[in-house]
């Protein structure tokens, strides 16, 4: 029987098949990796706010406590956003005519709250409670990063399921005494593992159930 294709054609065909296989694998790898990239997780993304509030100034320089603005963080799922009168506690006395604070003054005059925009957004199917984490010794900076140095707040961590589970599987390295939860400059001591394990016992954290699906999906 006559040969219809030359040996070089066979080699070319094999090369094309190999190229298609590699292209398919590359596409699959991209599809698997894409959800974990900063583009999808919004890590390091900033959000334009109605007022350009600087945490670096208010927290880092002036030393304001997180709870002054996020007043419900200790007793609620949500940390809360500051009502206008909280801002005006200071700014009725200082920077009273600053142009950048015009939206704050307008909000007070019109009795309309400022439309702050969320920076850290979890999917609707995820249940997260700030008060529980605070009560168990998870510090603000653990999830929100070095807020005290942020001129404009950004999402410092990926906030993915895998990232959350890494802490739920081994919480000891991330726990601190409750009185240090709001200390933005806190750093783990050399014996953090032992201290964290002691805090787990003291707070009666049921580590064997921290990765139960119902913890976060209700």
Over residues 161-215, the pLDDT tens digits come to: 999 999 999 999 999 999 999 999 999 999 999 999 999 999 999 999 999 999 9
Binned at pLDDT 50, 70 and 90, residue 35 comes out as: low
The CA distance from 108 to 131, in Å, is 29
* pLDDT at residue 96, rounded to an integer: 95
The confidence score (pLDDT) of residue 3 equals 59
- CA gyration radius for the chain? 25
- Predicted TM-score (pTM) of the model is 0.82
pLDDT of amino acid 198: 98
Averaged pLDDT of the chain: 91
Name the residue ranges covered by the structural domains of the chain.
Answer: 11-40, 48-81+119-216, 83-115
For residue range 54-103, list pLDDT tens digits in order: 999 999 999 999 999 999 999 999 999 999 999 999 999 999 999 999 99
**The three-state (H, E, C) secondary structure of 20-31, written as one string:** HHHHHHHHHHHH
Three-state secondary-structure class, residue 121:
coil
Q: Using alpha carbons, select from 186, 170, 167 the residue that is nearest to residue 178.
A: 186
- Residues 6 or more apart in contact with residue 128 via CB below 8 angstroms: 77, 122, 216
The answer, yes or no, to whether residue 2 has pLDDT greater than 80, is no
Calpha distance 22→10 (Å, rounded) = 18
| SS3 assignment, position 203 | coil
**Residue 5 confidence (pLDDT):** 59
What CA–CA distance (Å, rounded) separates 107 from 113?
6
d(CA 143, CA 163): 10
> What pLDDT score was predicted for residue 156?
95
């Amino acid at each position: 029987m006559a040969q219809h294709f030359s040996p070089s054609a066979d080699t070319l065909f094999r090369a094309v098949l190999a190229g298609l296989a590699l292209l398919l694998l590359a596409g699959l790898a991209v599809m698997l990796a894409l959800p974990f990239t900063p583009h999808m997780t919004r890590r390091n993304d900033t959000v334009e706010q109605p007022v350009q509030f600087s945490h670096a100034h208010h927290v880092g320089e002036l030393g304001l406590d997180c709870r002054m603005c996020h007043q419900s963080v200790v007793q609620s799922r949500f940390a809360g956003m500051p009502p206008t009168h909280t801002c005006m506690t200071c700014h009725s006395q200082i920077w009273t005519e600053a142009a950048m604070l015009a939206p704050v003054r307008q909000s007070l005059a019109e009795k309309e709250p400022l439309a702050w925009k969320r920076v850290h957004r979890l999917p609707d199917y995820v249940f997260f409670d700030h008060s529980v984490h605070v009560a168990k010794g998870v510090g603000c900076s653990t999830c929100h990063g070095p807020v005290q140095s942020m001129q404009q707040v950004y999402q410092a961590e990926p906030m993915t399921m895998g990232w959350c589970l890494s802490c739920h599987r081994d919480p000891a390295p991330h726990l601190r005494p409750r009185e240090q939860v709001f200390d933005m400059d806190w750093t783990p001591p050399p014996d953090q593992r032992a201290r964290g394990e002691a805090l787990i016992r003291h707070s009666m954290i049921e580590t064997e159930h921290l990765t139960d699906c119902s913890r976060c999906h209700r």
